[in-house]
């Protein structure tokens, strides 16, 4: 069994550039957008964090928490974003542990509920998320599913 390490970016700030490139490669959002959010977190301007799963020194899973994940409901914040696990590492609970870590981290800071936009049905429910409503994402023609975690 592989030994994974789960961290916040504040624990390993030197991974900021690599993490921004990794998220950019997965989602196509400019790396600078990730860097800006990560810098806000690392500098303490926000408590919305970045969570990584490492296998050795390689990022194999990650997610972030931001104010708004490109949708029309600014009142539904903060948002978990960019949830991703490398294909070869899926099915090992990595995303679930990252989600649980993010929710626990925010709750410890008095931040609850948390929201998430996704088209996946059945996955997030396993980790305590519930369908909340539909939102309109700025780059989509059809509404997207918004989930909530209390």
**Euclidean distance between CA atoms 143 and 78, whole angstroms:** 19
From 134, 17, 12, 32, select the one nearest 73 (Cα to Cα).
134
122-150 confidence digits (pLDDT tens): 999 999 999 999 999 988 889 999 999 99
- pTM higher than 0.85: yes
Q: Is 81 helix (H, G, I), strand (E, B) or coil?
A: strand
Q: CB-based contacts of 20: which residues, under 8 Å, 6+ apart?
A: 31, 32, 34, 35, 38
> Which fold, 4-112?
Aminopeptidase (3.40.630)
- DSSP of 13-71, one letter per residue? GGGHHHHHHHHHHHH-S-HHHHHHHHHHHHHTS----EEEEEETTEEEEEEEEES-SSB
57-99 confidence digits (pLDDT tens): 999 999 999 998 889 999 999 999 999 999 999 999 999 999 9
12-31 confidence digits (pLDDT tens): 999 999 999 999 999 999 99
Q: Where are the domains of the chain?
A: 4-112
């Amino acid at each position: 069994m592989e030994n994974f390490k789960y961290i916040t970016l504040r624990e390993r700030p030197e991974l900021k550039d690599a993490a921004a490139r990794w998220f950019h490669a997965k989602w196509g959002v400019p790396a600078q957008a990730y860097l800006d959010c990560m810098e806000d977190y690392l500098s303490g301007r926000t408590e919305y964090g970045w969570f990584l799963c490492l296998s050795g020194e390689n990022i194999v899973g990650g997610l972030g928490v931001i104010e708004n994940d490109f949708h029309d409901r600014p009142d539904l914040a903060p948002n978990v974003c960019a949830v991703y696990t490398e294909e070869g590492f899926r099915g090992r609970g990595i995303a679930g542990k990252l989600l649980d870590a993010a929710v626990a981290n925010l709750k410890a800071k008095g931040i609850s509920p948390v929201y998430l936009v996704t088209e996946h049905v059945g996955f997030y429910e396993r980790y305590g998320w519930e369908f909340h409503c539909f939102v309109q994402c700025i780059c989509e023609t059809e509404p997207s599913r918004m989930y909530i975690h209390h």
